Amino acid sequence: MSEAAHSSSDYIKHHLQNLTYGKLPAGYAREDHAGKKEVLQQDTWTLAQSAQEAKDMGFWSYNVDSLGMSIVLGVLFLFMFRRVAKSASTGVPSGWQNFVEWIIEFIDTSVRGSFSGKNPMVAPLALTVFIWIFLMNLMDLIAVDHASSAAKWAGLPFFKVVPTTDPNITFGMAIAVFLMIIFYSIKVKGLGGFLGELAFQPFGKWGMPANLLLEGVNLIAKPISLALRLFGNMYAGEMIFILIAIMYGAGIGFGLFAGVLQWAWAVFHILIITLQAFIFMTLTIVYMDMAHQEHH
Cite the active site residues. 225, 229, 233
- In 3-state terms, what secondary structure has residue 28? coil
Q: What's the rounded Cα separation, in Å, for the pair 208 and 107?
A: 39
One-letter amino acid for residue 127 of the chain: L
C-alpha torsion angle, residues 190, 112, 123, 215 (rounded to 10): 40
One-letter amino acid for residue 54 of the chain: A
- In 3-state terms, what secondary structure has residue 16? coil
Q: What's the rounded Cα separation, in Å, for the pair 130 and 20?
A: 27
- In 3-state terms, what secondary structure has residue 45? strand
Other Cβ atoms within 10 Å of 67 Cβ, number: 18
